[in-house]
Structure 1
Amino acid sequence: MNLHAAALAGAPGSNESTREFASDAITGLSHHPKQLPPKYFYDAVGSELFEQITRLPEYYPTRTELGILRDRSAEIASIIPTHAALVEFGAGAPTKARLLLAACEFAAYVPVDISGDFLNAQARGLRKDFPHLKIYPVTADFTAPFILPDQVAAMPKVGFFPGSTLGNFEPHEACRFLRGARNILGEGAYMLIGVDLEKNERTLYDAYNDAAGVTARFNLNILARVNRELGGNFDLSAFAHRAIYNRDRHRIEMYLVSKKPQTARLHGRSFFFRTGESIHTESSYKYSTDRFNALAKGSGWTPIAAWTDPERMFSVHALIS
């Protein structure tokens, strides 16, 4: 789970994004087993629920990564080039980017997200706090090829992909993203990336099954969004949140499980659910350092450093192309 996945969901309210949402929902619910893409978690309601999740005592990734970036900022700054352009893929609220911008001598910041209005609003706040920093927002889907601004063409490039977003990709998708980022940033570029680590299964379970039930509401909101935006008639009370750790695949899996036999409709299509039948809404892969390094090398990057918290819950990796 992470807010950066919102960049995949399309500009809210546009006809094109609604058509894409409807197509993806119908395709996913026609699949066996049923599924819905996790990028559709993040409408305004889902984004607010996720912000609540990041503050839960059980949910460690956000505060742990912030701690690593804060505590290891001097070491990070010693590795990456000065007067570089920091390119953040799927830029959400720039909390983590601010730590890097304060610690390192960047000449420019290029936040990339599909929501141009959101980017421009965040850029205005950053310009007040970093008056000498050049900021060039790019409105684009960060998982597809895009062109960096001409103003940063001659600068060294440092990619930034925090939040363990990589874990939401299937391994082949993660490899494709890393290759694409390398092509966009160019030869000799650096990449800083947040990666959630394998750990005690109870800790993982608790992080996705919090006592307050916020993650359950977050998960169910994807059906609420289907109802709101696509005219669906899903009964949210007839589905239960379920999150489990699949140790064979090293990933958390989130589902919505039907409590009874039922039929839901969407865009003139009917979808029948048996009792106990589920919709797979998200996977979140957890990596060992060795497995992540192998993924990075297979995608054309060379690992040069990694930092973790004292409990080895989370990691931040530095790569060079």
Structure 2
Amino acid sequence: MEHELQRPHPSTPSAAASMSAPSPAADRPPQWIRIGAVEDPFQRAAELQRGLLERPAHISPKYFYDAQGCALYSAICELVEYYPTRTETAIFERHRDAIARRLPREVQWVDLGCGDGAKSWPWLTSVQARRWVGVDISPEWLSISFTAGARRFPDVEFTGVATDFTRPLDLHAVLEQRPEWPRVFFYPGSSIGNFTPSQALVLLRSVRAHLGRDGRLLIGVDGVKDKAVLEAAYDDAIGVTAAFNRNVLRVVNRELDADFDPRRYTHRACFDGRHSRIEMQLVAQQAHTVHLGGQRRHFEAGEAIVTEYSYKYTRESFSALLQEAGYSHAQHWSDERGWFHVFVAAP
């Protein structure tokens, strides 16, 4: 159901809504933009090596998503245990009209971590989007989303920004190409949970700085719930998540010319109630030494590599984070069990 956070303030259509429609976008090819925040191979290798040499060793979850990792993640989203995707989808389907009323019309729809873009497509119709701006570290995903989106929405402009938005986000030049259209930033899937709260605060502030007066943030956030439910979602019975987690070691081997043997590691997912987060790890089954691009790293039996944090929020704790990030007010929707939260936040 919908809940008001702080003072209700329905958004009003931008002045752009009264402007005459631009010519169809079908004749304009998708625009590709690369921002310097995308790492070069040397930066990636240095970051990866540095994290693995630290204690505890860690790998950023952005390295999960090679072709095999993407396929495994798609399979995870279909698992019985993995509730976030279907719960968020159900909230969107049930409350789409109410949510859309809180968003401006004739917008630039900015899809953060867009993947294949499929989560955006129903919203482009709901808000009469003029432009879709996909933001992803993977040019391959952007190509997939361009192909699907441009075929489905010939009158919408498509722009892809290949960048790593875990680094400082700067899309001002891209969005100012169409200053007459308000902005909606879309960040579904509780991906915000992969950031620590302090990192999430930085990202939320950066998004707010891009919204202008009439923009909005539409974001999905996973909720705190029973420990058994949370841990099962990240450690399914048939081992898909375990395969997904181990696959990151193959990515490391390619990036660093390393010699990890994924079979030497077991997958572990545990909920840390003190920090309100799931922690995914790869645990060494026996002592061994790994070569990492000219460096050596010894792992003891039982030593863990942290591969992901996934922070969980109550409605109140995420509302407080939005307020700390400078948002003036927000609306909230959830499922009947309160397992997942959707917020529309205004600057």
Q: TM-score under structure 2 normalisation?
A: 0.85
Tell me the equivalent position of 1:67: 90
Query: Aligned match of 1:82 in 105, 110, 126?
Result: 105
1:119 pairs with 2:145: no
Q: Are the structure 2 counterparts of residues 172 and 288 from structure 1 closer, same or farther at C-alpha, using a change threshold of 3 Å?
A: same
Deviations, residues 67-126 of structure 1 (Å, cap 9, x unaligned) = 111111100111111112211112111121012113222222211223345324422321
- Look up the equivalent residue of 1:202 and give its one-letter code: A
SS in 1 for 2:116: coil
Deviations, residues 53-76 of structure 1 (Å, cap 9, x unaligned) = 111110011111111111111001
CA distance in 2, matches of 1:222, 1:121: 22
Contact kept in structure 1, 2:104 and 2:214, CA below 8 Å:
no
TM superposition shift of 1:221 = 0.9
1:135-284 aligned within 5 A: 135-143=158-166, 144-146=169-171, 147-284=173-310
Contact kept in structure 2, 1:158 and 1:191, CA below 8 Å:
yes
CA distance in 1, matches of 2:225, 2:144: 37
- Look up the equivalent residue of 1:268 and give its one-letter code: G
CA distance in 2, matches of 1:111, 1:192: 15
1:18 pairs with 2:41: yes
Tell me the equivalent position of 2:320: 294
Contact kept in structure 1, 2:107 and 2:130, CA below 8 Å:
yes
CA distance in 1, matches of 2:148, 2:259: 40
CA distance in 2, matches of 1:27, 1:172: 21
- Look up the equivalent residue of 1:145 and give its one-letter code: D
TM superposition shift of 1:25 = 2.1
Gapped runs of 5+ residues in structure 2?
Answer: 1-33
Contact kept in structure 2, 1:219 and 1:281, CA below 8 Å:
yes
Query: Aligned match of 2:340 in 310, 314, 318?
Result: 314
Tell me the equivalent position of 1:107: 130
Contact kept in structure 1, 2:118 and 2:145, CA below 8 Å:
no
Q: Are the structure 2 counterparts of residues 183 and 81 from structure 1 closer, same or farther at C-alpha, using a change threshold of 3 Å?
A: same
CA distance in 2, matches of 1:55, 1:227: 28
- Look up the equivalent residue of 1:167 and give its one-letter code: G
- Look up the equivalent residue of 2:239 and give its one-letter code: G
Q: Are the structure 2 counterparts of residues 210 and 301 from structure 1 closer, same or farther at C-alpha, using a change threshold of 3 Å?
A: same
Q: Which stretch of structure 1 is more off in the superposition, 259-268 or 288-297?
A: 259-268
SS in 2 for 1:137: strand
SS in 2 for 1:65: helix
Which structure has more relative contact order (CA 8 Å, sep 6+)? It is 2
Alignment RMSD (CA, Å): 1.9
CA distance in 2, matches of 1:177, 1:164: 14
1:93 pairs with 2:116: yes
CA distance in 1, matches of 2:68, 2:42: 20
Higher helix share: 1
Query: Moved runs in structure 1, 4+ residues, more than 6 A?
Result: none
CA distance in 1, matches of 2:302, 2:143: 44
- Look up the equivalent residue of 2:249 and give its one-letter code: L
SS in 2 for 1:318: strand
Deviations, residues 172-198 of structure 1 (Å, cap 9, x unaligned) = 100000111111222332100010000
CA distance in 2, matches of 1:225, 1:116: 17
Contact kept in structure 2, 1:163 and 1:194, CA below 8 Å:
yes
Contact kept in structure 1, 2:106 and 2:128, CA below 8 Å:
yes
TM superposition shift of 1:229 = 3.1
- Look up the equivalent residue of 1:195 and give its one-letter code: V
Q: Which has the larger radius of gyration?
A: 2
Gapped runs of 5+ residues in structure 1?
Answer: 1-6
TM superposition shift of 1:20 = 2.4
SS in 2 for 1:136: strand
TM superposition shift of 1:141 = 2.7
1:51 pairs with 2:74: yes
Query: What is the aligned-residue identity percentage?
Result: 38
Contact kept in structure 2, 1:70 and 1:99, CA below 8 Å:
no
TM superposition shift of 1:305 = 0.8
Contact kept in structure 1, 2:278 and 2:309, CA below 8 Å:
yes
- Look up the equivalent residue of 2:206 and give its one-letter code: G
Contact kept in structure 1, 2:107 and 2:127, CA below 8 Å:
no
Q: TM-score under structure 1 normalisation?
A: 0.91
